[in-house]
């Protein structure tokens, strides 16, 4: 979801001169936690790799260099869906 939100913020900033978009993302995987299950050991992999987290960023265009100091530039964005990946992320 984070990448999609950055794409949307970039589009908003580029099409609204002088705008600044506050992007806030949070992810809470703790609610999905399930105890160990011999039939679904793959669920432990996701629990080991991912955790709860949050981040925020301000996205804008045409910076005021006298008061702003941009650190990064979003050059371009794209969205693709890979074929045959519907089972890549599944819930039990």
3-state secondary structure string across 10-71 = HHHHHHCCCCEEEEEEEECCHHHCCCCCCCCCHHHHHHHHCCCEEEEEEEECCCCCCCCCCC
Report whether 51 contacts 32 (CB < 8 A): no
Domain boundaries, the chain: 2-60
Statement: residue 20 has pLDDT above 90 = yes
- Rounded to the nearest 10 degrees, how much is the dihedral formed by the CA atoms of 47, 53, 58, 59? 10
Q: What pTM was computed for the model?
A: 0.63
pLDDT given for residue 42 in this prediction: 72
């Amino acid at each position: 979801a984070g990448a999609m939100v950055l794409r949307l913020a970039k589009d908003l900033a580029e099409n609204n001169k002088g705008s600044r978009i506050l992007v806030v993302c949070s992810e809470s995987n703790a609610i999905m936690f399930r105890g160990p299950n011999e039939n679904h050991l793959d669920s432990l992999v996701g629990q080991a790799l991912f955790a709860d987290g949050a981040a925020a960023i301000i996205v804008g265009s045409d910076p005021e260099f006298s008061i702003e100091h941009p650190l990064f530039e979003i050059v371009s964005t794209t969205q693709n869906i890979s074929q045959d990946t519907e089972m890549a992320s599944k819930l039990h």
